[in-house]
Structure 1
Amino acid sequence: MYRFEETDVPKKLRLADIRLATKGFDPNRIIGQGASSVVYEAHLPDCGNVAVKRFSKVNQNGLLGNQFATELATMVGCLRHKNLVQLQGWCCEGNELVLVYEYMSNGSLDKILYKRSSNRLLTFEKRLNILLGVSSALVYLHEGCERQIIHRDVKTCNIMLDADFNAKLGDFGLAEVYEHSAQKRDATLPAGTMGYLAPEYVYSGIPTVKTDVYSFGVVVLEVASGQRPVNEDGVVVTDWMWDLWEKKILIAAADPRLMGRYDKVDMERMLMAGLICVHPNHQLRPTMKEAGRMLRGGMVPELPVRKPLVMIQSVLPERSSEMVARLSCDESDTPWSTPRTHFSKGN
């Protein structure tokens, strides 16, 4: 288990100090913005350069307050790992809810991945290192914490990169914490981002470690191919990958911006590891520890010749067909914010 010093415990900060550091939440200091929060770059004397996540005013049903409380409790409770974004401090004064995180100079993975010049910034080796970092963080959450944590929102928006392009997983506003791995999960309305949600989670509303594995698999395919989970034409990256696999041309999915600067065996292994993680049957998905082993060069289990179909019975309310999801990770989203993607009643 990752060890940390007692001095690393997040501090309760004064709103006056945060206002001073952000120059009164100056719009010119905004580095990210989403539906539930705005993130500012700032410098605090005791913390150095930080990212100040200011939640929107708490709405009537208290959802934003719940997200703030969940994220704060999760981060303060037990999370200290080199591949998790570290919480430096927090503030709750009046109707202001603020979390202060370490500053990640290269921002979020999705912003770097989809830059036109990303082939120069993100070599295959850096992409692999990023995936290994995220897998290490998820192994820690699933197996290394005193209480098992299911992240529920693993996606490129929530993967931050430091100056050396090391990955750190952030945003725990949707996390579920369990006293032990065998604790019974209750069915809820699925929360997260379409394109990253495991099929059984959409229909059952019950998150498990294997739903995190599925989301991680989508990230692997996204990083290897440079394709978004759902592109502008509505093509789902997992379906596209299974189609290429069936045609025995999976390597064709490799990001063309890499210009072939990778070992084909390593690239195909990465793509296959992503596919096994998004297997429609959750029982056939690997654990996060096994997924990391595959990316490091281990053997990938044999994949079916075509995408398997798995029948899942829904346990959601009868009117769940009216629930719709809005895609997030658009240009206005911030990797620090709880995403605005959630299932809600259609109008």
Structure 2
Amino acid sequence: MDIDLPIFDLVTITTATENFSSTNMIGEGGFGIVYKGTLATGQEVAVKRLSKNSGQGLQEFKNEVILIAKLQHRNLVKLLGCCLEGDERMLIYEYMPNESLDYFIFDQHGKALLTPKKRLEIVMGISRGLLYLHQDSRLRIIHRDLKASNILLDSDLNAKISDFGLARSFDGDQSEINTKRVVGTHGYMSPEYVVDGIFSVKSDVFSFGVLLLEILSGKKNRTFHHPEHHHNLLGHAWLLWREGRALELIDDISFVESQVLRCIHVGLLCV
């Protein structure tokens, strides 16, 4: 694997995470476990440690290293390096003290910490990161798993897109790719991707639209329930929009009406 990245030795990472102490665990997924660590310089890092029996995880690890090493943007989580020693495979990222966006939009305590202004700033940050991936980076990248838990927040609550394990790069003349292996998170995947396995920048745009409506409403698309109909969050948002009641979607009345209506409209245009 051709890697243009700083390499950390195992001793450094073991020391930083206090021998992968359970008290330093900050996340877990199909790939393995994420630990918080502190380097000898005092810099805090997040260490993504691949599970030794995760075959799919190894492919995603390679994918993430090869793609992210070439990307740099203030709205993408920065990959600082990796550790490839023995059978250990680890990615070392900048540490995000506020963890992921889902806590701040779906948890009652978390919601109270986000002002309407900050919510809109987070939306803008995600859109800038996505524009960079699709148009402005050296590679054209489709993320394929854009969702609230993959948006991390730094100490100032600035949004950073993370987790590029499922991402794909496009050649210059490609506009879409067909795959037999549909991966991602239900509720965020576009219909043409779920049904036909076709993905493109439009797939990420659909996911962004879902995420935008979730940020504004404080509700999850997948688990949304309304006593008067069987629509998911997207269907509910369209219903309110057509009836001229779009502001009922919002869970914080202190939004500036013109701004929030524009955001709802953008979200609906994406989906």
Question: Which of the five TM-score ranges fits, normalised by the shorter chain?
Answer: over 0.9
**Residues 1:53 and 2:45 are matched in the alignment:** no
Mapped contact 2:176–2:199 kept (Cα < 8 A)? no
Residue 13 of structure 1: aligned partner: 8
Match for 2:90: what amino acid? V
Q: Which amino acid aligns with 2:67?
A: T
After superposition, where does 1:185-264 map in structure 2 within 5 Å?
A: 185-231=177-223, 233=225, 236-255=232-251, 258=252, 260-264=253-257
- Contact 1:153–1:192, Cα closer than 8 Å, also in 2: yes
In the alignment, which residue of structure 1 is the partner of 2:106?
A: 114
Instruction: Please give the alpha-carbon distance, in whole angstroms, between the structure 1 residues aligned to 2:173 and 2:214.
Output: 29
Unaligned residue ranges in structure 1 (runs of 5+) = 1-8, 279-347
Q: Residue type matched to 1:163 in 2?
A: S
**How far does residue 112 in structure 1 lie from its aligned partner after superposition?**
1.8
- Equivalent residue for 2:169? 177
CA deviation profile, 1:222-266 (whole Å, cap 9, x unmatched):
0000000211648521111112122221110001xx2x1111121
Q: Residue in 1 aligned with 2:25?
A: 30
- Whether the 8 Å contact between 1:244 and 1:253 is mirrored in structure 2 is yes
Deviation at 1:110, TM superposition (A): 0.3
Q: For the Cα contact (< 8 Å) 1:58–1:95, is it kept in 2?
A: no
Residue by residue over 1:100-142, the C-alpha shift from the partner in whole angstroms, topping out at 9 and shown as x without a partner, is 1001111100012222133431111101000100100111110
Name the SS of the counterpart of 2:108 in structure 1: coil
How far does residue 163 in structure 1 lie from its aligned partner after superposition? 0.8
* Displacement after TM superposition at 1:11 (Å): 1.1
Q: Tell me, in whole angstroms, the C-alpha distance in 2 between the residues paired with 1:169 and 1:184.
A: 22
Residues 1:146 and 2:132 aligned together? no
Question: CA RMSD of the aligned region, Å?
Answer: 1.7
SS in 2 for 1:185: strand
- SS of 1:219's partner is helix
Q: Which runs of 4+ in 1 moved over 6 A?
A: none
TM-score (norm 2): 0.92
The alignment partner of 1:195 has SS state of coil
Is the CA contact 2:176–2:200 (under 8 Å) kept in the aligned structure 1? no
Match of 1:123 among 105, 115, 138: 115
TM-score for the superposition, normalised by structure 1: 0.73
